[in-house]
Amino acid sequence: MTKLADAIIIGGGIHGCSTALHLCLAGMKPVLIEKDYAGRHASGVNAGGVRQLARHVAEIPLSIRSMGIWERIEALVDDSCGFESHGQVLVAENAAEFDACRARVAELNALGFTHEELIDGPELRRLVPAVAETCPGGVVSRRDGAAEPARTTTAIRRKAEALGATVVEGVAATNIRKQDGLWQVDVGADSYAAPVLVNAAGAWAGRIAADLGEPVPVETVAPMLMITSRVPHFIDPVVILRGRKLSFKQFANGTVLIGGGHLATPDQDRNETVLDWRSLAISARTVFELFPVMRSATIVRAWAGIEARTKDELPVFGPSARHAGLYHQFGFSLHGFQLGPGAGAVMTELIASGGTQTRIGDLGIERFHSSTP
């Protein structure tokens, strides 16, 4: 049986769920199709960073838009999502890196962005008391913070459902096609049809785009994370490094999350990853060079979520360059969690009114098809 909806969203990550929620807020009835369950992959198992800091200029407007939603996330989804705003700090480990920080902040200021702020050594140590003495300073984005990813994605999905979205889990969308002027997909024995199709399928979105004639240079990656047992509180902001792969934060419950982008080997078809312990060892070494107090903390679990990374490490976000009614929202390249709430809002504006005030022009899929007129 074919069921009609206002929009079909493929993918139950934070992006698909957020778009579903915002479409509902705009009075539409979307159906969201998730082959596993909402938040099963990267959206449920990422580091939870809510970060405007150190983003590519092209996605800063979307990130700022999203930050405004994060700050009222509880009112939006009836759950705090574990969101806490203690700032994010980028640490320069030497003079050269500190110079690069200064140049970056100046560049952003010239463009009119003020969220990043250069900090000297004393301010760095005030914000991050445990950091190694040798670090000359860094950059802070004070409104940034962190949230609990699985809880957030689950809360957004739950609110979307409460507002009328249909969420179908455990069955993949297949046979995606445009027929009789509508997008149609098969989901098990059912079919759905809608004038709008949103491709928010994360690591699986590249295949969908390619099948619809819009191939994108995108690969499947699995950034690794590890978490420690509970230790006494010693750090508030999220810390990232300028020169090395590391992100570091302590949850309110005392556990410390260590990430930064070292990759596992993904097995997309098995929903599995094989961890690379030698790379995690690099993260471990980096952590205790920076935070010697962490040496005796115990690691209780390590994992990796499967997601998509584009060639230029920017998302594919906006209308299709080829098909009316098709929208892409994927390829967030290891930094899509913070963008989720804002991307759903902007996507809804694109769908409902054909445009948005938020500058997203450089994120469109057409950038990969420069030969296409």
Partner 1 sequence: MNTTARRESYDVVVIGAGPAGLAAATTAAEAGLSTLLLDENAGPGGQVWRAIASTPVTERDHLGADYWAGAKLVEAVRSSGAEIIHRATVWSLDRNLEIGVSLGGASFFVKARRVILATGALERPFPIPGWTLPGVMTAGAAQTMLKSSGLVPDGSTVIAGQGPLLWLLAAQILRLGGRIDRILDTTERRNYFAALPHAFAFMTSPYFAKGFALMRQVRAKVPVVSGVTELAAAGDGELATVTYLSGGRRETVPAELLLLHQGVVPNVNLAMATGIEHRWDDLQLCWSPVLDRDGNTSVEGIAIAGDGAGIGGAEAAIVRGRIAARAAVEALAPTAAARLAPMATFRGALVKAERGRIFLDTLFRPAPQFRIPSGDTIVCRCEEVSAKDILDAVAIGATGPNQLKAYRRTGMGPCQGRLCGLTVTELMAQARGKTPQEIGYYRLRAPVKPITLAELAAVPKTDADVNAVVRG
Partner 2 sequence: MFKRSDQDSRRSVHIVVDGAAVAAREGDTVSAALLASGRDVRRATAVSGAPRLPYCMMGVCFDCLVTIDGVGNRQGCLVPVAEGMQIEIQKGKREIGR
Q: Which residues bind partner 2 (CB under 8 A)?
A: 229-232, 234, 253-254, 292-298
- Listed ranges 50-58, 209-217, 268-276, 358-366: which one lies at the site for partner 1 (CB under 8 A): 268-276
- Listed ranges 64-72, 116-124, 200-208, 293-301: which one lies at the site for partner 1 (CB under 8 A): 293-301
Instruction: Round to whole Å and give the CA distance between 245 and 238.
Output: 14
- Which residue's CB is nearer to partner 2, number 133 or number 269? 133
- CA angle, corner 352, sides to 166 and 64, nearest 5? 95
Strands 190-194 and 247-250: unpaired
| Residue of the chain from 2, 274, 313, 372 that contacts partner 1 (CB under 8 A) | 274
Other C-beta atoms within 10 Å of 355: how many?
9
| Residue of the chain from 46, 154, 247, 348 that contacts partner 1 (CB under 8 A) | 154
Task: Please tell me whether residue 282 adopts helix, strand or coil conformation.
Answer: helix
- Which residue's CB is nearer to partner 2, number 176 or number 293? 293
By CB under 8 A, the count of residues binding partner 1 is: 38
DSSP state of 122: H
| Residue of the chain from 299, 311, 313, 324 that contacts partner 1 (CB under 8 A) | 299
- CA angle, corner 97, sides to 96 and 98, nearest 5? 90
228 interacts with partner 1 by CB under 8 A? yes
Cβ atoms of 198 and 8 closer than 8 Å: yes
HSE of 16, CA atoms in CB hemisphere, 13 A: 39
Instruction: Round to whole Å and give the CA distance between 350 and 328.
Output: 11
Cβ atoms of 273 and 303 closer than 8 Å: yes
Q: Which residue has tokens 């989804």?
A: 77
300 interacts with partner 1 by CB under 8 A? yes
Sketch the per residue contact string, 90 through 129, with partner 1: x for CB under 8 A, - otherwise. ----------------------------------------
Cβ atoms of 9 and 19 closer than 8 Å: yes
Q: Residue 339 corresponds to which amino acid?
A: L
> With CB cut-offs between 5 and 8 Å by kind, which of partner 2, partner 1, none does residue 254 bind?
partner 2
281 interacts with partner 1 by CB under 8 A? yes
288 interacts with partner 1 by CB under 8 A? yes
296 interacts with partner 1 by CB under 8 A? yes
73 interacts with partner 1 by CB under 8 A? no
Binding site for partner 1 (CB under 8 A): 37, 39-40, 44, 148, 150-151, 153-154, 158, 228-229, 253, 270, 272, 274-282, 284-285, 287-288, 294-303
